[in-house]
C-alpha cells in the first residue's frame, strides 16, 4: 500500500499535465486562471490533491476554489474606458501580475522536474521486483478494468454498493466520506467520456500474507462539479461540456496468498457462489464471508496520486520485533486501518460529530477532539483528498504498541502532511480475516459510528484496551 513501489518501469511521478505543458502556453493558462473555471472531479478526489512538490494535483489541475459548475466569466469587468481604449491603470497591473504568474509557474515547473528526477534516481538505486506473470495475468487485468468502469459508474450514481465487494474498508470509507462532504456543500461529481488509456502492472510485493500489485492507471474524462439536486442524466450532460483532460494514478490491489479459486463468477459470492446482496457490511448474506477482505480475490486497497509516487521503502525498525509477537502482522493491513481512521477523523470534524470516533480513537484523543471541536461545530473540509499513506515507524515495546503512519493530503487546495499516532494493547494479534479493518476484533461485526466505545454485538470495549489499532494523536505540519 501507500507509495512504496509505484514509480517503476516508466511510471511518471510528475502530474500528467505539469511538465509537459509548453512554456508558450503558460501565459494563456495563467490568464484563464484569473477567470472562474469549472472544477474537475473523479472517483477518489484525486483532482483536488495538491502535492508537496508541485502544489498541483496528482493527475490534473483544477480550480482550488472549486466554483460551482455554472460559474460564468461573462460578467467580468474588462476595465476599458468609455471610448473603447485600454485603461493603462488597469492593463499595466494586469500585465505585471501575468508576468509574475509566468515566472512563478516556470519556477514551480522546474522544481517539479527536479523532484521527478530525484524520485527516478532513488528508484534506480532500489530495483523493484517485476510483477510475476502468474499475478498480473489476464483475469487480473480484466478484473481491474471492470473495477475502473464500475467505480466511475458508482461515483456518478452516488451508489457505492456497486463496488463494495471490490474495495477495502478504508477505500470504501474514503469514497463514502468524500461523497457525503460534497453533498453537504450542495454538490455532486459528474464525469463523461471516460476512457481508460492504459492499465499496466508496474511492480509487485509478496509477504507471508498478501500478494500486492501496483498498477499504473492512465485515463481521461470530462469532469465537473454540479449542484447536488441534478439527476444522473443532467449531471452527465453538464460534465459533457467540460474540457477533456488526462489523469494518472497508481492503484494498489491486494489478495491473500491463500485465496482459493473463486466460485460463481462476477456478482456471486467468491466463497459459496450465492448471488451477492451487499450493504454496508460487505458480508455474504448466505455464508457470512467478508468478500472485500482480499481473502478470495483482488481488492482495491489504495489510490495513490502520481505526484506522491516514491521508490520502495523497507519495513521500519521495530517490524521484526512486532512480527515475533504478532506473526500475522502486515503493513498492508496496518496502513489500511490508518487510512480508515484518518477518513473517520475527517468526517467527524466536518460533520461536528466527534463522538463518531468513540470506537476507533483513544479516550484521551477523543477528549481532545471534543475540546477543540465541540458537538455541532462543523469544520469545512472542501476538496479533501489523500495523496498517499505510508507506515513510518513501529514501537512494539512498552505499555502499549505504537505505530506512526504518514498521510499526505490536501484540503481546499492546501497541501498537508499529518502523522497519525496509533496504539494497541501488548500481545494484540492481527486478525486473519484479511483487510477487514472496520470490524470488531472480537466478533467481526462492522464498526458503527453511534458514539459508543463498545461493540453493539459482543460488548467488547474497543478503545480503552484496544486489540486493534486506534487513533491516539495527530501531528500536523
Q: 199 lies in a domain?
A: no
Q: Is residue 195 part of a domain?
A: no
Q: At residue 141, what are phi and psi to the nearest 5 degrees? A: -60, -40
Q: Which of 61, 94, 116 is the last residue of a domain?
A: 116
Name beta bridge partners: 407: 389, 418
- Give domain status of residue 378, yes or no: yes
Q: Are 377 and 371 in contact (CB under 8 A)?
A: no
In a domain, residue 137? The reply is no
Residue 132 lies in a domain: no
Would you give per-residue pLDDT tens digits along the chain (477 residues)?
A: 433 333 334 333 333 333 333 333 433 333 333 333 333 346 866 666 766 654 333 333 333 332 222 222 222 222 333 344 445 555 566 566 666 655 554 545 444 444 444 443 443 334 455 666 667 788 899 999 999 999 999 999 999 999 999 999 999 999 999 999 999 999 999 999 999 999 999 888 888 889 999 999 999 999 999 999 999 999 999 999 999 999 999 999 999 988 887 666 778 888 888 888 766 678 888 888 899 999 999 999 999 988 886 766 788 999 999 999 999 899 999 999 999 999 999 999 999 999 999 999 999 999 999 998 888 878 878 889 999 999 999 999 999 999 999 999 999 889 999 999 999 999 999 987 778 899 999 998 999 999 999 999 999 999 988 999 999 999 998
Q: How far apart are CA 18 and CA 21, in angstroms?
A: 6
Nearest C-alpha neighbor of 388 from the set 417, 423, 420:
417
Of 116, 141, 166, the one marking the end of a domain is 116
Query: In total, how many domains does the chain have?
Result: 2
Q: At how many degrees (to 10) do helices 169-184 and 331-351 cross?
A: 20
Which residues span the domain enclosing 66? 18-39+47-75+83-116
Whether 25 is in a domain gets the answer yes
CB atoms within 10 A of CB 452: 13
DSSP string, 117-155: HHHHHHHHHSPPPPPPTTTS-HHHHHHHHHHHHHHHHHH
Sequence-ordered list of residues with C-beta below 8 angstroms from that of 307, at least 6 positions apart, any chain: 13, 14, 15, 49, 51, 52, 53, 54, 56, 57, 58, 387
CATH code assigned at 407: 3.10.450
Amino acid at each position: 500500500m501507500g507509495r512504496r513501489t509505484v514509480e517503476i518501469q516508466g511510471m511518471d511521478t510528475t502530474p500528467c499535465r505539469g511538465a509537459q505543458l509548453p512554456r508558450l502556453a503558460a501565459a494563456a493558462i495563467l490568464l484563464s486562471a484569473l477567470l472562474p473555471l469549472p472544477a474537475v472531479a473523479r472517483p477518489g478526489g484525486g483532482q483536488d490533491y495538491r502535492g508537496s512538490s508541485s502544489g498541483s494535483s496528482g493527475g490534473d489541475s483544477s480550480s482550488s476554489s472549486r466554483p460551482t459548475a455554472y460559474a460564468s466569466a461573462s460578467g467580468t469587468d474588462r476595465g476599458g474606458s468609455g471610448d473603447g481604449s485600454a485603461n493603462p491603470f488597469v492593463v499595466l497591473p494586469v500585465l505585471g501580475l501575468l508576468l509574475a504568474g509566468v515566472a512563478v509557474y516556470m519556477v514551480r515547473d522546474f522544481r517539479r522536474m527536479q523532484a521527478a528526477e530525484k524520485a527516478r534516481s532513488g528508484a534506480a538505486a532500489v530495483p523493484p521486483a517485476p510483477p510475476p506473470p502468474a499475478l498480473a495475468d489476464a483475469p487480473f487485468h480484466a478484473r481491474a478494468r471492470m473495477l475502473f468502469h464500475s467505480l466511475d459508474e458508482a461515483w456518478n450514481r452516488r451508489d457505492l454498493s456497486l463496488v463494495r465487494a471490490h474495495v477495502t474498508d478504508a477505500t470504501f470509507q474514503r469514497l463514502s466520506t468524500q461523497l457525503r462532504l460534497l453533498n453537504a456543500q450542495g454538490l455532486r461529481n459528474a464525469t463523461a467520456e471516460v476512457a481508460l488509456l492504459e492499465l499496466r502492472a508496474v511492480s509487485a510485493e509478496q509477504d507471508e500474507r498478501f500478494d500486492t500489485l501496483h498498477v499504473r492507471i492512465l485515463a481521461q474524462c470530462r469532469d465537473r462539479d454540479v449542484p447536488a439536486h441534478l439527476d444522473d442524466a443532467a449531471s452527465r450532460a453538464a460534465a459533457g461540456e467540460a474540457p477533456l483532460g488526462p489523469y494518472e494514478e497508481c492503484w494498489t490491489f491486494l489478495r491473500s496468498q491463500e485465496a482459493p479459486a473463486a466460485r460463481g463468477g462476477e456478482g456471486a459470492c467468491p466463497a459459496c457462489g450465492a448471488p451477492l446482496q451487499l450493504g454496508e457490511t460487505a458480508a455474504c448474506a448466505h455464508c457470512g464471508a467478508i468478500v472485500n477482505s482480499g481473502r478470495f480475490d483482488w481488492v482495491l486497497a489504495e489510490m495513490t496520486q502520481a505526484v506522491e509516487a516514491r521508490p520502495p521503502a523497507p519495513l521500519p525498525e521495530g517490524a521484526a520485533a512486532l512480527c515475533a509477537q504478532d506473526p500475522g502482522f502486515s503493513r498492508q493491513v496496518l496502513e489500511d486501518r490508518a487510512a480508515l481512521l484518518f477518513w473517520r477523523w475527517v468526517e467527524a470534524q466536518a460533520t461536528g460529530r466527534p463522538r463518531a470516533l468513540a470506537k476507533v480513537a483513544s479516550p484521551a484523543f477523543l477528549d481532545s477532539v471534543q475540546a477543540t471541536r465541540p458537538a455541532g461545530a462543523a469544520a469545512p473540509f472542501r476538496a479533501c483528498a489523500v495523496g498517499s499513506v505510508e507506515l513510518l515507524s513501529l514501537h512494539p515495546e512498552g505499555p502499549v504498541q505504537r505505530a506512526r503512519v504518514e498521510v499526505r493530503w490536501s484540503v481546499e487546495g492546501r497541501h498537508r502532511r499529518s502523522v497519525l499516532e496509533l496504539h494497541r494493547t501488548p500481545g494484540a494479534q492481527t486478525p486473519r480475516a484479511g483487510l477487514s479493518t472496520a470490524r470488531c476484533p472480537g466478533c467481526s461485526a462492522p464498526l458503527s459510528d453511534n458514539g459508543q466505545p463498545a461493540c453493539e454485538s459482543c460488548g467488547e470495549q474497543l478503545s480503552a484496551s484496544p486489540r486493534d489499532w486506534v487513533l491516539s494523536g495527530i501531528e500536523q505540519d
